[in-house]
Amino acid sequence: MLAHVDMDAFYASVEVLDRPELAGRPVIVGGGARGVVSAASYEARAYGVRSALPLGLARRLCPQGVFLPVRMDRYRQISRVVMEVLASFSPVVEPVSVDEAYLDLKGAPILKAGPEAAGRAIKSAVQNVTRLTCSVGLAPVRFLAKIASDRDKPDGLTVVADLEAFLATVELREVPGVGQKSQERLRAMGLTRLTEVRALGAERLERMWGAFGLRLWELAHGRDSAELRPEREAKSLSHETTFHQDLADREALAAHLLALCQKLGRRLRHEGLEGRTVVLKLRHADFRLVTRRATLARPGADTAIIYATALGLLKGYPWPGPFRLIGVGLAGLAPAGQGQPGLFEDQRQARGRALAAAEDAVCERFGHQALTRAAALAKDGQHGHTGDGED
Q: Is there a contact between 385 and 35 (Cβ–Cβ < 8 Å)?
A: yes
Helices 115-130 + 72-87 axis angle, to 10: 140
Q: 304 to each of 88, 260, 375, 390, how far by Cα in Å?
A: 42, 12, 12, 21
Phi, psi of 68, rounded to the nearest 5 degrees: -130, 150
Q: Say whether 100 is catalytic.
A: yes
Query: What's the chain's Rg over C-alpha atoms?
Result: 23
| Alpha-carbon gap, residue 297 to 53, rounded angstroms | 39
Distance CA 295, CA 180 (A): 33
In the chain, count H helices and then E strands.
13, 14
Contact assessment for residue 134 and residue 126, using Cβ atoms and an 8 Å cutoff = yes
d(CA 220, CA 77): 38
Catalytic position from the list 15, 43, 100, 274? 100
Report how far apart, in Å, the C-alpha atoms of 290 and of each of 280, 286, 293 are: 8, 12, 10
User: In whole angstroms, what is the distance from residue 277 CA to residue 300 CA?
Assistant: 9
Positions marked active-site: 100
